[in-house]
């Protein structure tokens, strides 16, 4: 099921076609940190976005299956296939 995206949802998905840290998303979407955090949490719950952590051993980002919703700055984010499909369907 594809959910109707809000303008900020669309803007956030537009900025995370590749793994991006929270601060970079803030720079690109120009909304307050609390609003961006709330929207990311909503997008994660819809499975449109995944939280990512840097793995020193792999020298790459890996999906974090759990994340601290009170510390959104600790993660980077990536749009999922479903998120990209929802984003592209509203272009």
Q: What is the pLDDT of residues 4-50, one digit of tens each?
A: 899 999 999 999 999 999 999 999 998 999 999 999 999 999 999 99
Q: What is the CATH number of the domain that holds 19?
A: 1.10.10.10
Whether the pLDDT of residue 1 is over 70: the answer is no
In a domain, 70, yes or no: yes
- Whether 91 has a pLDDT exceeding 70, the answer reads no
- Answer whether residue 28 is part of any domain: yes
User: Can you give the pLDDT at residue 17?
Assistant: 96
The CA distance from 35 to 89, in Å, is: 23
Q: For residues 85 and 91, give the distance between their C-alpha atoms in angstroms, rounded to a whole number.
A: 10
Q: Establish if 30 belongs to a structural domain.
A: yes
Residue range(s) defining the domain that contains residue 47: 7-89
Q: How many domains does the chain have?
A: 1
In whole angstroms, give the CA distance from residue 90 to residue 66.
Answer: 29
Q: Does 18 map to a domain? A: yes
Confirm whether 1 is domain-assigned: no
Q: Is the pLDDT of residue 2 over 90?
A: no
């Amino acid at each position: 099921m594809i959910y109707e995206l809000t303008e900020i949802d669309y803007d956030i998905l537009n900025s995370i076609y590749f793994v991006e840290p929270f601060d970079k998303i803030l720079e690109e979407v120009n909304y307050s940190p609390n609003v961006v955090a709330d929207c990311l949490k909503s997008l994660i719950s819809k499975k449109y976005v995944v939280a990512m952590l840097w793995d020193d051993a792999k020298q790459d980002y890996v999906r974090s299956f759990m994340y601290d919703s009170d510390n959104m700055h600790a993660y980077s984010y990536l749009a999922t296939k479903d998120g990209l499909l929802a984003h592209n369907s509203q272009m």
